[in-house]
Structure 1
Amino acid sequence: MAAPQPTHTPPPRTPWYARLATSAGRPAVLGATLIMSMPGEYHVARFAGWSDPWAYGMPFSLSAYAGIAAVVAATRPKGARGRFSATVGAAFAIVLALAAQVVAHLVNTGHMNHDQAWLIAVTSMVPPAVLAHLLHLAATPTPVVTPSASVDTPAAAPVVEQAERIEQAPILPPLPEQPPAAPQLPPVEEQLPAPIVYRDPRCAAVRPLYDTGTRPGTAAMRDALIAAGHGRVGDSTIRGQIRTEIEEHEPNLKSLPATLPLAAGQNP
């Protein structure tokens, strides 16, 4: 029996007002903090010797620098080139923004003198340092990562860069040497049967009469012998000796039909 599968319980749905506060509240808080930070950063720039309208560039430099460095540090994978520098830059930008607020409020409340040399020197170095670090981040290439196609990788695992694998064909052992093919011989000609050698040479004069497909009669064989120059041969010799020897060598000739019907008084 199969074990019961665990059931997945969906997480409770977030109330609509909580989702609205999260989606609309974050840009509202971001705008409010930027507006509240601008006066302190502006006054610090004025303390360092910048006049209007150049002093207004200090809030934008610190705020934009902090945001860019934080985004770069959060989006680059762990171990990627430029991630550590972006993290240090984000922390440095936050420290500068905090220090600017603290210094501005201490000076405005009379707890600190704004004519101190170290304060002017540190504040004067902020724009060039921000520009140099932003150019460094822009020049550092962002690594291109490809997600792993393995089904065993959990969804929460970090995305790692996959190296392309070039599949090589397996190297097969050499084939053994094949023996040379035997030369093809020409077809052997059909061997003809050996010629029949008759004991009685007169059989050779009678044998062609069978080629018509019929068994010759005594008169036809006598005429063939006379035509071959053997003279007149007796009927008993023709039938008992010559015909017998021919059909002894070729028994199938006995089954041939007779050439002509026998005449009255003539023996086969």
Structure 2
Amino acid sequence: AIPFLWRNPFGIISNGDFSKAPKIVQTYILCLSENDKLHLIYEGFNISKTESAFFDYPSYIREINCNLVNKSISTWFKKTYFEHKSINEEKENLFVGKIYDMFFSRCNRLFSFEIGLRKYGSFNYPNFSSFLRLRQAITDLQHLGIYFHPLDNEKINEQINEHISKFFIKLLTFRCHNIHFIDYKSCANKDILVYHDENNIAYFKISELIKLQHGLRLFRYLGEISILNFEESSSIFDALKTQI
């Protein structure tokens, strides 16, 4: 029962009720390595260096929705460090990075991964491409959601752009070819979606990712049609034809 319940722990708060989020985050804190705990304690976090979890919960995780993870961590921060002057944005980013690094380094394989530009709280996405065991975690992805376009009232953060763009490149580099379902939302900032080869020919990363797949069953475009320009839409359409 434990592996099943913790394969997608943040899924239980997908209905918008984040009341259980702090407890989930606190459980994962207990799973951090001793070195990571000591580092966080040194940076001013009030966590126990001796208390540990009953199970290796990160090893069970199979589905990660970054928006839910980020919102959960933000909720935990608000409950634990409300108006705490010593915990600044830099330290929040440090904490977020350690949580994600733990997920990627200790999960066996991810089944579903969703990442986007939405920003909860004051922290950003970590640089996923720097995680040593990223390849092992994402090689067998079956569902991928990439949402580049933020809500109207959210400012696009250039660092988030860069981190998501690097993650996209890793998907291509590692040749993740078993994805069955792709959800995609485009972005007005085309620089993070396009790469150029040695002849300066532009390629859309999402199209190249589609072409890699051996058995893509569903591709859903979730963005506004006005943002999807002719070049990108044509590139996606041509890539999808290779899956027929």
TM-score of the aligned structures, taking structure 1 as reference length: 0.20
Higher relative strand content: 2
Higher relative contact order (CA 8 A, sep 6+): 2
Higher relative helix content: 1
The structure with more radius of gyration? 1
TM-score of the aligned structures, taking structure 2 as reference length: 0.21
